A = this chain, B = another copy of it.
Amino acid sequence: MSTALAPARTDERLTGVPGEPLDHRRYRRMRFIRRFEETLLQLFEEGALNGTTHACIGQEADAVAVTEHLTEGDHIFSNHRCHGHYLAHSGDALGLMAEIMGKEAGVCRGLGGSQHICAPGFKSNGVQGGIVPNAAGIALANQLSGNDAVSVVFIGDGTLGEGVVYETLNMASLWKLPLLVVCEDNRWAQSTPIAANMAGSFPGRFSAFGVPVRSVDSTDVAEISQAAGQEIAAVRAGEGPRVLLIHTYRLCHHSKSDDERPEQEIAERWLVEPLVVHGRRLSDSDRLRIDDEVETALGEVVATARALP
């Protein structure tokens, strides 16, 4: 069905240099997402961008970890906070930047914008919850086709408010669909703390439907990746749907400038954010070098994107 508009444009300085150690690669890829988002927020402040955006600052490890285990034929459905997922999947910084700038060279020709992205193996939509059955349908297609592809859907903690999520968990479980739900619990939904949004048991929300849940309370890309790898392998092996529940934190505001969370809480989380946690595994000089490479590459992307018609 899908016919790509153009091959995704990637840059090794952003997505990983052949032969570099895994730790470097992971750091680079997270740094790439982080700096993309920060750049975007800056462009918004400059007034260079239209509309709105939801940055995933603080959650970069999730995207990088999960996509490490995906392969050609797998599919990601993402939500409003989709940039990290998309960049980890495709590396296509220019396509996404151009999209958010509303340019014709954008990955959806400027039609979709920040929340509505499509590229081979990837889609997102900005309506909470509804993408979950969509991802399950893709999983059903894979099951019917008899391939071993995995359909992954990213949702937030707040999205567990939407009933269609449960309808889908039930159906996916009944039909043993090859679906992985990645629930990024960043403790907040827009302005609402999880305590005001969710009663009962977080993992119980899934296990009640016979869907196994793997919880990871971590911002460490290595730890998340290990869990993601096992879950994806199980789904790929035909064991039915599974949930990877990642307890993480969003360090930036929800969308553009709305943040009323306790400063202390945010400050504490900056101490354990993915780049800090994983960055320790690299030498200072390697980190600085990679930071630099990412900066240069991203600078080129922004310049190119700005110059686009």
Contacts and interface: CB of A to CB of B under 8 A. Distances in A.
Contacts of A200: 170, 173, 207-211
B165 A163 contact: yes
Contacts of A174: 196-199
Nearest to A165: B163
A201 interface: yes
A128 to B, nearest CB: 12
Interface in A42-68: none
Interface residues of A, number: 25
A201 B205 contact: no
A174 B201 CA distance: 12
B199 A204 contact: no
Contacts of A201: 207-208, 210
Contacts of A199: 169-170, 173-174, 209-211
A188 interface: no
A208 B210 contact: no
Nearest to A168: B163
Contacts of A164: 163
A20 B160 CA distance: 51
A157 to B, nearest CB: 12
A48 to B, nearest CB: 39
Contacts of A167: 161-163
A173 B160 CA distance: 14
7 contacts: A160-B170, A161-B167, A163-B166, A166-B166, A173-B200, A199-B210, A204-B204
